[in-house]
Amino acid sequence: MIVFNSLNWTRSGAVFADLGKDEEIVDTLTNQPAPFEVLGGGSNFNHVRFAARDVPAVGYKVYAVRHAQKTAAPPEPEQKTTLESPYYKVQLDPETGAIRGIYDKQLQRELVSQESPYRFGEYLYVTGGDKSPNTILSYSHVYPKAELEIHPAHNGRVLSVVRTPDGEVARMESEDLNTPSIKAEIRLFDREKKIEFVEDVDKKQVESKEAVYFAFPFAVSQPEFHYEIQNGVVDPAKDMYPGAGHEWFTVQHWVSVAQEGLSGTVFPLDAPLVTLGDINRGEWPETFGQRAGTILSYAMNNYWDTNYRAGQGGHFRFHYFVTSAASMSAAELSRMGWEEITPLEADAVTTQDKAISDSGSDTHKDALRPSAVPEAPACAQGLDGKQESFLDIKDANVLLETWKPAEDGNGTILRFLDFGGAERAVTVRFTCLHLDHAWQTDAVERGQTAVSMDGDHQFHFTIHPHEIVTIRAMEARQ
């Protein structure tokens, strides 16, 4: 099983795979089994989740699938209302299927506002707005305000709390108006400071005006909000043009709230709209103003007639991650956001996929690579049978957004995004390619400005804060 990492830094992450009932996954670097969690399966297979550790940047790591040496007993589910990791202690709220409290052990403070009418991660169903005209349907300073009513999730219960190889996970179920089932999976991690929310929602289709939110109320009284856009960060209290909307915002990967030594961040992976402080009430404020420290994921609405479905029914799944610190830079959050939205990918290699190696059965890199040519690309004589990186970017605040064939077939295109550092030189080294030359182009691959080469496998270019840089690289003819 080969696990691929398409991002340009080494990272760990969850991988999902199907295994035979009597099989296990083995890390080929350590020859130790990788613990996994059974999520489901059939008569002769298990669908599992395991953590792949330290997968190389723009590269892969190989895991073996073999007959299990021993079979671990499935964990016993518990009926409790607390979860704990090295970073957090979480108090569940079974009635709403959400969280009552989150204690950050490093900051030694409670993260969840106890004054808020909402629980953390709570599903909210909003009715009202059917009587037209009103300001929830149209921008107006003279139309009456919509009569909105918030219906919190209720009749909830804890289904299970289970210890997994990666941490603890709680599963709860609640319900709401026009929403027969809201199944929440809340997961804590032993090695990462984050909380995962997976919300499976079964909702009836209705054509009366409605909206759905998930609330994340942080315990701050004078909040400062920031959110990521495609190549920058916005402070909605300072960065909006006159006449801009202040009731909902479009988030690229993350939205954070900060005050007095606390930075709390939500990653709304499947629902890019958010409201800040309150739900959308059709107030149309001219300035951002002072608000409560609540981030609300604006998951659904049918308020407008143009290009919107009249009703939204069926099964929906929403993913959220939450993290906290005394402070976090925008670059750190953007890296986390790209990790969460870009999962590791796995490919199960069967016997039919394999080719015979001239090197025999020994696939260790020392046996494959000539030691007499240290400057040659590392995999010039064959790929490592355990792990490999194809590209090395010596800058933690640069993202390789794209690596693809050029549109005209002439070379390959690499596109880089800066997360917000100062103007500087960036070094890019190819592990497996010999380069002839490279140019910087515009976004549609036109124009040519030569970039500095260092040998035949490394080049340098200058990047500016939040800039997107496109490079055309030409491989040397062999």
Domains in the chain with CATH codes:
2-70 (no CATH), 82-340 (2.70.98.30), 357-389 (no CATH), 392-475 (2.60.40.2220)
d(C-alpha 383, C-alpha 387), whole Å = 8
Q: For residue 20, what are the contacts with CB-CB under 8 A and spacing of at least 6?
A: 44, 45, 46
Q: Are 62 and 28 in contact (CB under 8 A)?
A: yes
DSSP type of residue 229? E
Q: What pLDDT is attached to residue 380?
A: 57
Q: Are 303 and 279 in contact (CB under 8 A)?
A: no
Which pLDDT does position 379 carry in this prediction? 61
pTM for the whole structure: 0.92
Strand residues in 406-475 grouped as ranges (E)? 412-418, 424-430, 435-441, 449-450, 452-453, 458-463, 468-475
Instruction: Return per-residue pLDDT of the chain as tens, 478 residues.
Output: 999 999 999 999 999 999 999 999 999 999 999 999 999 988 899 999 999 999 999 999 999 999 998 777 778 888 899 999 999 999 999 999 999 999 999 999 999 999 999 999 999 999 999 999 999 999 998 999 999 999 999 999 999 999 999 999 999 999 999 999 999 999 999 999 999 999 999 999 999 999 999 999 999 999 999 999 998 999 999 999 999 999 999 999 999 999 989 999 999 999 999 999 999 999 999 999 999 999 999 999 999 888 878 999 999 999 999 999 999 999 999 999 999 999 999 998 887 776 665 554 444 444 333 333 334 455 656 788 899 999 999 899 999 999 999 999 999 999 999 998 899 999 999 988 889 999 999 999 998 899 999 988 899 999 999 999 999 999 887 5
> Would you call 432 exposed, middle or buried from its count of C-beta atoms within 10 A (0-12, 13-18, 19+)?
middle
Rounded distance, CA 452 to CA 44, Å? 56
Chain position carrying tokens 């219960």: 157
Is residue 96 within 8 A of residue 104, CB to CB? The reply is no
